[in-house]
């Protein structure tokens, strides 16, 4: 080949390559999102919004991402936390996965905690992490009405449209928290023993330790816990749906009660199962706002273990009939999660669960939620009716006050 020919050839290949790139580019802009801005409205005349805190540990990146996709709605706010036992690499991969979702990029309503906490399930570092999440969510978003804490092992049983629709009829200062002051065996085995959580002061992971002395049961305030009875193992629920006003009370601390109880419960075992319950029931301005349910579906083994049993496809029917919002707990990628995706959430693999806000066409190559219209409208599905029934019953129970902070 002569020099002239070589130059011509180079020129020709360059032209061909640019044409190809141009074609590819126009094709991708044609098929991917053409989002037009949609204004998010909050307030009494609009559906409520939720702040989600989803936490997990090492190896939970994919579960947390899947749970986010199942729960995503542009009106909500999300904070994801991979505790300190997970690597920074895993944290960065989670952040990258989150950024790959077009709606998340456009609405900017998902954050990943970059400076993780050391969380010990049995100690008080768990309560500290939840309070921190609430503080961040209060700071970054003025619009949400309820705070929901989830673990990587949870999954929703309703769409976000179902949830916001059912909660539209709920007074926004109400709190869903399973509680009782009937401590039973817990008084001597949980409240009186003194434990120390090294997660609060040691850099490496280590187990809690227990003091030989016990403290008397408090009489300056009453201790409340979850109602679930699980034999002599672990009882009480650390799961709840808390109102924005109650979390402001806990986090801003203009009244000393939340802070005093925080210091008291610091050395109590499984303080996440008593802290919020005790604060809310000892605060005169909040105790009337408690609805005695955590809106979770769980099955306890007999005899009960530390955690509820893993739900599988055999539990599907009962689970969806329960009319609650979340279920726990699940094995990673258990087939029953695919059933929930397919039948309830109508969610495609690696896509967000569609809601009325998604306006794109639905096909195997196109995610309907890469295009959107008005994000303030809802389209409740089949599960919404069941959840509405549950909420109506709970509200009846609440107005009779038979079951509140007793
Ligand atoms: C809560 O309910 C009790 C009993 O009905 C009532 O006496 C009290 O005034 C209520 N408190 C608030 C702050 O509404
Ligand atoms: C589901 O779990 C229960 C209890 O652990 C077990 O008895 C049952 O065989 C499981 N079903 C399937 C389909 O794996």
Question: Is residue 243 in some structural domain?
Answer: yes
What is the atom index within ligand 1 of the atom nearest the CA of 285?
13
What residues contact 314, with CB distance under 8 A and at least 6 apart? none
Cβ(309) – ligand 2 distance below 6 Å: yes
Which residue, chain included where needed, has tokens 């672990």? 234
What is the domain-level CATH number for residue 348? 3.90.550
pLDDT of residue 227: 75
pLDDT of residue 205: 75
pLDDT of residue 132: 97
Q: List the residue whose alpha carbon is closest to atom 2 of ligand 1.
A: 288
The model's pLDDT over 71-80, given as tens digits with 9 standing for 90+, comes to 999 999 999 9
Nearest to 193 by CA among 207, 213, 223, 209: 213
Question: Is residue 134 in some structural domain?
Answer: yes
The model's pLDDT over 295-331, given as tens digits with 9 standing for 90+, comes to 999 988 777 677 888 999 999 999 999 999 999 999 9
Nearest to 325 by CA among 291, 293, 287: 293
Q: In testing the pocket of ligand 2, which one of 312, 327, 331 has its CB within 8 Å of the most ligand atoms?
A: 312
Question: Is residue 78 in some structural domain?
Answer: yes
- From the CA of 402, the nearest ligand is 1
Residue 336 CA to ligand 2 center (angstroms) comes to 11
The model's pLDDT over 208-243, given as tens digits with 9 standing for 90+, comes to 889 999 999 999 999 998 876 554 444 456 789 999
Question: Is residue 9 in some structural domain?
Answer: no
Q: Which of 6-15, 30-39, 267-276, 284-293 has the highest mean pLDDT?
A: 284-293
More confident residue, 73 or 202: 73
pLDDT of residue 190: 86
Residue 290 CA to ligand 1 center (angstroms) comes to 12
Does residue 115 register a pLDDT over 70? yes
More confident residue, 226 or 116: 116
pLDDT of residue 31: 44
Does residue 143 register a pLDDT over 80? yes
pLDDT of residue 134: 98
Number of domains the chain is built from:
1
Question: Is residue 386 in some structural domain?
Answer: yes
Question: Is residue 191 in some structural domain?
Answer: no
Q: List the domain range (segments joined by +) for residue 321.
A: 51-182+225-400
Does residue 349 register a pLDDT over 60? yes
Residue 52 CA to ligand 1 center (angstroms) comes to 30
- From the CA of 286, the nearest ligand is 1
- From the CA of 331, the nearest ligand is 2
Question: Is residue 359 in some structural domain?
Answer: yes
Mean pLDDT for 261-268 is: 94
Which residue, chain included where needed, has tokens 């569609």? 354
Question: Is residue 16 in some structural domain?
Answer: no
What is the atom index within ligand 2 of the atom nearest the CA of 312?
1
């Amino acid at each position: 080949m002569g020099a002239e020919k070589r130059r011509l050839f180079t020129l020709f290949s360059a032209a061909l390559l640019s044409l190809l790139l141009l074609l590819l580019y126009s094709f991708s802009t044609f098929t991917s999102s053409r989002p037009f801005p949609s204004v998010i409205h909050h307030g009494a005349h609009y559906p409520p919004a939720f702040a989600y805190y989803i936490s997990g540990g090492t190896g939970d990146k994919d579960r947390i991402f899947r749970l986010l996709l199942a729960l995503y709605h542009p009106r909500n706010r999300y904070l994801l936390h991979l505790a300190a036992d997970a690597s920074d690499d895993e944290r960065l991969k989670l952040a990258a996965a989150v950024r790959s979702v077009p709606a998340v990029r456009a609405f900017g309503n998902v954050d990943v905690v970059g400076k993780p906490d050391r969380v010990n399930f049995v100690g008080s570092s768990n309560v500290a992490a939840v309070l921190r999440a609430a503080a961040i969510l209060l700071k970054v978003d003025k619009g949400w009405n309820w705070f929901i804490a989830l673990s990587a092992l949870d999954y929703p049983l309703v769409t976000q449209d179902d949830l916001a629709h059912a909660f539209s009829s709920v007074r926004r200062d109400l709190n869903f928290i399973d509680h009782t002051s009937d401590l039973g065996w817990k008084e001597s085995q949980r409240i009186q023993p003194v434990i120390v959580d090294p997660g609060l002061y040691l850099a490496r992971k280590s187990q809690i330790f227990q003091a030989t002395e016990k403290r008397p049961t408090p009489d300056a305030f009453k201790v409340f816990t979850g109602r679930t009875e699980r034999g002599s193992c672990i009882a009480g629920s650390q799961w709840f749906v808390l109102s924005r006003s109650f979390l402001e009370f806990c986090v801003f601390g203009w009244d000393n009660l939340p802070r005093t109880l925080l210091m008291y419960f610091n050395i109590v075992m499984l303080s996440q199962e008593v802290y919020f319950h005790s604060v809310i029931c000892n605060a005169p301005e909040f105790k009337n706002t408690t609805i005695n349910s955590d809106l979770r579906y769980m099955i306890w083994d007999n005899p009960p273990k530390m955690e509820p049993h893993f739900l599988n496809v055999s539990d599907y029917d009962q689970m969806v009939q329960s009319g609650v919002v979340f279920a726990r707990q699940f094995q990673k990628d258990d087939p029953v999660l695919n059933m929930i995706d397919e039948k309830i959430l109508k969610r495609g693999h690696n896509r967000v669960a569609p809601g009325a806000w998604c306006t794109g066409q639905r096909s195997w190559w196109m995610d309907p939620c890469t295009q959107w219209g008005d994000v303030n409208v809802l389209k409740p599905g089949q599960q919404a009716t069941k959840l509405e029934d549950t909420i109506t019953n709970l509200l009846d129970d609440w107005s009779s006050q038979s079951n509140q902070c007793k």
